[in-house]
Amino acid sequence: MEYYRQHNLQIRIARIFNTYGPRMLENDGRVVSNFIVQALRGNPITVYGKGDQTRSFCYVDDQVDGLIRLMNGDHMGPINIGNPGEYTILQLAKNIQNIINPKAEITFKPLPSDDPKKRKPDITKARKLLGWEPKVQLDEGLKHTIADFKSRMTAESKMKAESLRLTQTAVEGKVETKVE
């Protein structure tokens, strides 16, 4: 708000909460991508602590819709743009486990001391001032996200296998050159 006061510019302040969806980076360090990658690779899903800490997860399409409404609106104070649905980390792990591989192992490691116990947005202002609330439920969004991860990870595996094959062929001296 100070920037608005000093420069008399219209500003918007969005507080976003755990966005997820297709095109997430596999190594971005967020819990959704970590769990999906671990499960798809056949590794145990790693939960820190007992998994009773809570988070809210907002599907990317909902997040973008909320941000567009905020930018097109008149309100200049902070507005929470997130999904108020609250899930434990263990619930998230089990949801991903059930979608990818119900037999996948879930392991527990010590909880980092700086990990918040609860994170859930109050979207009252977004509902009132923007006429916005999220529409995509967690399981539906996870299915789209997991399908995207599977597709990209399969393509990546095929490219690595082809690269390895070409490298082995070159090392063995079996490089074929076509001259026309």
Residue 23 tokens, joined? 């095109």
Do 16 and 63 form a contact (C-beta atoms < 8 A)? yes
Q: How far is CA 48 from the centre of its chain?
A: 17
Question: How confident is the model over 55-92, as pLDDT tens digits?
Answer: 999 999 999 999 999 999 998 889 999 999 999 999 99
Q: How far is CA 83 from the centre of its chain?
A: 13
CATH assignment of 2-171, among 1.10.150.170, 3.40.50.10950, 3.40.50.720, 2.60.40.1120:
3.40.50.720
Q: Which run of H or E residues covers position 2?
A: helix 2-7
- Identify which of 120, 86, 105 has the alpha carbon closest to the alpha carbon of residue 43: 105
Question: Residue 7: its pLDDT value, please?
Answer: 82
Which ranges of the chain have pLDDT less than 50?
none
CA distances to 21, 84, 100, 156 from 18, rounded to whole Å, are 10, 11, 21, 26
Question: Residue 2: its pLDDT value, please?
Answer: 73
Residue 90 tokens, joined? 């263990």
Q: Rounded to whole angstroms, how far apart are CA atoms 166 and 33?
A: 31
Q: Where are the domains of the chain?
A: 2-171
- Identify which of 120, 117, 97 has the alpha carbon closest to the alpha carbon of residue 107: 97
Residue 26, classified by CB atoms within 10 Å of its CB into exposed (0-12), middle (13-18) or buried (19+), is middle
pTM of the model: 0.82
Phi and psi at residue 79, in whole multiples of 5°?
Answer: -135, 135
